[in-house]
């Protein structure tokens, strides 16, 4: 089956630092990847849609300058949380859609804790 | 009205019980519906798609009522391993991404 990986799986950082999270589709090419965020006991919230070779589309209320998304290849999208603050602590999950359409496959998620 | 609303839960049931979860969605133009399962501190995993005619996969049955904008999931003969959070999921208005409900937690005990 389709596999999506994320790295790192867990990160703890100091307030003010930037954190980069990688999302890779391991055995298929993904023209579209999505980034979600989930706070404790809350639903997954779509942050942005990332299309290979073009700028990401951000959902309302998500700051594009704070959450930088790069989708440079068909198998890799990165999310950089710039100048992270404690309120950015969350579970960040990516998903990828196989080229040609189909189901979304989720990565295992990255737990970010900002101290 | 929230885009996707689910039973608040939690549901605590004994092994062997039958349990049903409900979900309503606000966008009448939505075309695709899913049930995902999320275990604690893990990513969501697709449980089953929901079709207009209803569909069944083993102990799991999903139903869709477009007129009422309502989706259901029925689990028969609950197992301990069914304990998880069940997420009702709908494609967003643009048809480009999934919108998740908050989830309903199921705890099956022996």
**A41, A46, A108 ranked by CB distance to B43: nearest:** A108
Determine the pLDDT at residue A15: 96
Mind telling me how many Å the CA of A107 is from chain B's nearest CA?
Answer: 7
Mind telling me how many Å the CA of B16 is from chain A's nearest CA?
Answer: 27
Between A11 and B28, where is the model more confident? A11
Give chain A positions within 8 Å (CB) of B41.
Answer: 91, 111
Determine the pLDDT at residue B93: 66
The tokens of B47 are what? 């449980």
The tokens of B88 are what? 């009702």
Asked whether residue A22 carries a pLDDT value surpassing 90, the answer given is: yes
Asked whether residue A25 carries a pLDDT value surpassing 70, the answer given is: yes
Count of A–B CB contacts within 8 Å? 38
Flag if B43 and A103 touch (Cβ within 8 Å): no
The tokens of B50 are what? 């929901």
**Phi–psi pair at B106, nearest 5 degrees:** -115, 130
Determine the pLDDT at residue A75: 92
Flag if A46 and B99 touch (Cβ within 8 Å): yes
Q: Is the minimum CB–CB distance between A43 and chain B shorter than 8 Å?
A: yes
Q: Give contacts of A 71-110 with B, CB under 8 A.
A: 91, 93, 95, 103-104, 106-109
Q: Would you give per-residue pLDDT tens digits along chain B (110 residues)?
A: 678 999 878 999 999 999 999 999 998 888 788 999 999 888 898 899 888 888 999 999 999 999 999 999 999 999 999 999 999 988 876 667 788 898 999 999 99
Q: Is the minimum CB–CB distance between B73 and chain A shorter than 8 Å?
A: no
Each residue of A33-53: pLDDT tens digit?
Answer: 999 999 988 888 999 999 888
Flag if A44 and B4 touch (Cβ within 8 Å): no
Each residue of A63-105: pLDDT tens digit?
Answer: 999 999 998 888 999 999 999 999 999 999 999 987 766 677 8
Determine the pLDDT at residue A1: 60
- CA B24 – CA B8 distance, rounded (Å): 12
- CA A109 – CA B33 distance, rounded (Å): 22
**A43, A91, A108 ranked by CB distance to B103: nearest:** A43
H or E stretch including A81? strand A76-81
Residues 6 or more apart whose CB falls under 8 angstroms from that of B48 comprise B34, B35, B55, B57, B60, B62
Determine the pLDDT at residue A100: 66
């Amino acid at each position: 089956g389709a596999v999506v990986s994320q790295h790192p799986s867990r990160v703890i950082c100091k307030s003010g630092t930037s954190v980069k999270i990688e999302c890779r589709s391991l055995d298929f090419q993904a023209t579209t990847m999505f980034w979600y965020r989930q706070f404790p006991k809350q639903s997954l919230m779509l942050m942005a849609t990332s299309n290979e070779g073009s700028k990401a589309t951000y959902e309302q209320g998500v700051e594009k300058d704070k959450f930088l998304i790069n989708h440079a290849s068909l198998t890799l999208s990165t999310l950089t949380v710039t100048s992270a603050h404690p309120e950015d602590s969350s579970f960040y999950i990516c998903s990828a859609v196989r080229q040609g359409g189909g189901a979304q496959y989720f990565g295992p998620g990255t737990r970010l804790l900002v101290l | 009205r929230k885009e996707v609303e689910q039973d608040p839960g939690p549901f605590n049931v004994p092994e062997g019980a039958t349990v049903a979860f409900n979900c309503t969605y606000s966008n009448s133009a939505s075309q695709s519906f899913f049930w995902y399962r999320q275990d604690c501190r893990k990513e969501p995993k697709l449980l089953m798609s929901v079709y207009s005619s209803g569909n069944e996969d083993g102990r799991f049955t999903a139903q869709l009522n477009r007129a009422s904008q309502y989706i259901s999931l029925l689990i028969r003969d609950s197992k301990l391993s069914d304990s998880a959070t069940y997420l009702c999921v709908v494609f967003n208005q643009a048809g480009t991404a999934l919108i998740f409900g908050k989830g309903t937690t199921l705890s099956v005990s022996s």
